[in-house]
Amino acid sequence: MIRLLPILLVFIFSFGPALAVEPDEILDDPALEQRARDISANLRCLVCQNQSIDDSDADLAKDLRVLVRERLVAGDTNEEAMQYIVDRYGEFVLLNPVIAPHTIVLWALAPVIFVAGLVALVIVGRRRKTIANPTKMSAEEKAALAELTKTDD
């Protein structure tokens, strides 16, 4: 019995992601179904946000899987089906974001902010050192301070 447990666990966990696609969604044509799976693996579940629609059990993910299959049955290419979903839901639906002119700022901004933060930390650190270690006043400075703080009674 104990020897069967590892085999049973491997069997159960090897079919985990495939269980999200329900039998009523699967297309009769295996080539078309594979194309649908390839597209679904690259689309984000808008509910789960960290899973592809192929792996998600959310109702919206199922709707998107069905929509992809409908587009493929209608004769769309993979790119056209993917673009249809992106046009409808925005680029956020892509698991791998595109690098385009309108997203370059986002890609470049993170390292720039990181470097600016490091520079700010260095500047603040240096200022604290100079404040924490004030230089001693010379005799002239002490005399000038005494003169300024002297009260006329």
Task: Name the range with the highest mean pLDDT among 52-61, 72-81, 94-103.
Answer: 72-81
Q: Which of 9-13, 59-63, 91-95, 133-137 has the lowest mean pLDDT?
A: 9-13
DSSP β-bridge partners for residue 49: none
The pLDDT of residue 18 is above 80: no
Q: At 123, list the tokens.
A: 């500047």
104 Rama sector, left if φ>0, alpha if ψ -120 to 50, beta otherwise: alpha
- pTM here is 0.58
